[in-house]
Amino acid sequence: NGPPRDRTNQTVQFEHIYLSVFISISICSGIGLFMSCAFLAFNIHFRSHR
């Protein structure tokens, strides 16, 4: 058989993602980003109000 290989063989394989899944995940992440910015602005605006 000979000596063992120096490294493992790596093959690059591209996977297909449905466009509808990509769009829905992008929309959800955009909504989450907007909400986090809105909460941060809300906390900064009302930080002195106790």
Q: Give the gyration radius of the chain's Cα atoms.
A: 24
7-39 residues labelled b (16+ CB within 10 A) or e (exposed):
eeeeeeeeeeeeeeeeeeeeeeeeeeeeeeeee
So what's the pLDDT on residue 17? Answer: 92
Q: Where would I find the H helices in 1-50?
A: 19-45
So what's the pLDDT on residue 3? Answer: 83
Instruction: Give tens-digit pLDDT for 9-25.
Output: 889 999 999 999 999 99
So what's the pLDDT on residue 44? Answer: 96
Instruction: Give tens-digit pLDDT for 17-46.
Output: 999 999 999 999 999 999 999 999 999 999
